[in-house]
Amino acid sequence: MKNIIIINGPNLNLLGKRQPEIYGHKDFDNFLIDLKTKFQNFNITYYQSNIEGEIIDKLHEVGFDIDGIVLNAAAYTHTSIGIGDAVASIASPVIEVHISNTYAREDFRHKSYISPNAKAIILGFGLKSYELALSSFE
Ligand code: DQA
């Protein structure tokens, strides 16, 4: 059985309440139950932090053993050289995901420090972006 972690960055703990016109009405805990039901062939763990260094620490902790990482670094995507470097430094494949199509939004969301180091990028499918990323590990 493959071990996969989903790592969510800042403000994604507010999914369901936060700008639902962009991010939808579902909270991530409920969505995670659906994902675990759908992908019973995976052992899925979940980590969320609003703190840049904690996300880097988690990538270091899991990134040499785990079969796959689904990373939505949220706003840090556009600012964090540190998270980008962490993704480059680890061995496990990282799929960068975004709920919204960041390229259809403000210019500052067009830059990603994760993309050059990610195995692939999936964005703009709402929460389904996570599902598509997980299915890529099948
Ligand atoms: C996001 C897009 C980012 O620009 C934003 O800062 C987020 C969420 C997304 O999933 O669409 O917090 O990563």
- State pLDDT tens for residues 94-106: 999 999 999 999 9
Output the CA 124–ligand 1 centroid distance in Å.
10
**Model confidence at 91, in pLDDT bands (50, 70, 90)?**
very high
Output the CA 12–ligand 1 centroid distance in Å.
8
Is residue 11 within 6 Å of ligand 1 at its C-beta? Answer: yes
Annotated domain spans of the chain: 2-135
What average pLDDT does the structure give for the chain? 97
Ligand 1: nearest atom to the Cα of 23: 11
Give Cα 18 to chain centroid, integer Å.
Answer: 17
pLDDT 10s digits, 25-55 = 999 999 999 999 999 999 999 999 999 999 9
11-21: b (≥16 Cβ within 10 Å) or e? ebbebeeeeee
pLDDT 10s digits, 53-80 = 999 999 999 999 999 999 999 999 999 9
Give Cα 135 to chain centroid, integer Å.
Answer: 14
Is residue 87 within 6 Å of ligand 1 at its C-beta? Answer: no
The packing angle between helices 81-89 and 52-62, to 10°, is 0
How long is the chain?
Answer: 138
Query: What whole-number distance in Å separates Cα of residue 93 and Cα of residue 70?
Result: 9
Catalytic, out of 76, 98, 113, 130: 98
CATH class of 2-135: alpha beta
Question: Is 110 one of the annotated active-site residues of the chain?
Answer: no
Question: Is 25 one of the annotated active-site residues of the chain?
Answer: no
Ligand 1: nearest atom to the Cα of 98: 10
Catalytic, out of 23, 76, 113, 130: 23
* End-to-end Cα, the chain, rounded Å: 10
Is residue 112 within 6 Å of ligand 1 at its C-beta? Answer: no
Query: What whole-number distance in Å separates Cα of residue 66 and Cα of residue 28?
Result: 22
